[in-house]
Structure formats: structure tokens, C-alpha cells
Amino acid sequence: MKNLLLTLTTIVILCSCGEHTESKTISISSESTSEFQNGDIIFQTSQSSQSKAIQLATNSKYSHVGIIYNNSNKWYVYEAVQPVKLTPLKVWIDRGKNDHYVVKRLKNATDVLTKETLSKMRQVGEQYMGKNYDIYFEWSDDKIYCSELVWKVYKEATGIEIGKLEELKDFDLTHEAVKQKMKERYGDNIPMDEKVISPAAMFNSDKLITVKEE
């Protein structure tokens, strides 16, 4: 079957060091013969400095998440790092601990992720491209963190909430590594009532099924 093509407008892709690379036009195929599909959600254990604290606080080994897209027969992950950008899938996988990853998909993806919906996901996602990573996990659009990016793209484009929103006080903040990281970020003014969506909450969502694990 001939692939249906959705063309993203020209966007500037930024590298992790914050320098600009050349602009490029992203074309997303709405169908795929691969084991991956546009809109799949991919999880890994990040090797960043804050990953251990996230794992302990959320009681999960998964600390980073992004959305998979196909561009000209090459797979990318749309993710919130520094800054928000598209990262080649292999580069993204290699960056995680032991190259391990899990891919999940909406149970009703065939019905929900239509050509029109994927186009809307693209439009929603564009507003975050190039934004800085939010180390304070605030629920605003000025800066954004990984699970917040994925959650908001899905919520705004499909109306589906993947994972339960929590508050910072709902997490396990008793571990020393977590306390240290919180102290570094907030000092003595920890915003316990801040709304948060964690990679763990998304990973455990009953709206998703696991389609691949390596």
C-alpha cells in the first residue's frame, strides 16, 4: 500500500550542545512496514546525572521517554533533552543503559493514530521544538521535560491522557540520592504541590501495550 505522507514544515533541529544545525523538512509516513509505527512511545534508562534519583523516586528503572517518528525511511525519537529535538533512533538507543529499550503503543492505535491525528501531533510538537529542558519539572510550556513532552503531545492531539498526573509530594523522596538532587534543584523551597507526569506513570498506563523490548 502506498504510504500516506505527512509533511512537517521546515524546522530547525538543535544538537544537544545547543548549537544550530541546518534546517530540514521532516516527512512522516503514516504507515510503515517496520515493527515500529509513527507515534510509538519508547522508554529507556537514561544515564544522565539525575536518572538514579528519578528511578528511586518513581520506583521504576525507566527514566526517559520519547515519541518515535519515521522520516524518509529513517526512524527518529522526538524527545525533550537539552534542547527538545529529533534524535536518530539508533543514537537514542545507544545513549541508554545497556542499549535497553521498550516500545509501547496505544491499544487502539489503528483507530486513533490516523493521518489527520498524526498531522495534529506534528503541529502540537512543533511548538516545543528547540525549547530548553526543564530541570525543575514545572507544569508550564516555557521549558519542558521528557515525559511532559510526550504526555502533552498526546493529550492535545488525541485527547488521551497517558499516565496519571501526580504531584511532587506523591513520589518517594526518602532516598539520599533523591534528597540530594532535590536540594540541588530547589534548596529549601521544594514545590510539593507541583503537577508532574513521570516516565513510570506513562510506562504503567493501561492505555498502552508493549510491542517491542530489547
Contact 83, 100 (CB under 8 A): no
Residue for cell digits 529513517?
Answer: 74
Q: In whole numbers, what is the pLDDT of the chain averaged over residues?
A: 86
Contact 79, 125 (CB under 8 A): no
Considering only CA atoms, which of 23, 38, 207, 20 is closest in space to residue 122? 38
Identify the residue with better confidence: 127 or 72. 127
The parent domain of residue 52 ranges over 5-213
Number of domains in the chain: 1
pLDDT tens string 4-45: 333 333 222 222 333 333 333 334 444 444 789 999 999 999
Band the pLDDT of 71: cuts 50, 70, 90.
confident
Distance, in Å, from the CA atom of 199 to the CA atom of 202, rounded to the nearest integer, reads 5
pLDDT tens string 137-150: 999 999 999 999 99
- Residue 114 sits in a domain of what CATH number? 3.90.1720.10
Count the helices and strands in the chain (H runs, E runs).
7, 12
Contact 132, 122 (CB under 8 A): no
pLDDT at 159: 97
Look at residue 171 and tell me whether its pLDDT is greater than 80. Answer: yes
DSSP run (H or E) holding 79: strand 74-80
Q: In this structure, what C-alpha cell is assigned to residue 91?
A: 543514537
Q: In this structure, what C-alpha cell is assigned to residue 129?
A: 521544538
CA angle, residues 143, 13, 99, in degrees to nearest 5: 85
Taking the model in full, what pTM does it have?
0.84
Average pLDDT of span 98-125: 95
Average pLDDT of span 52-73: 95
Identify the residue with better confidence: 6 or 92. 92
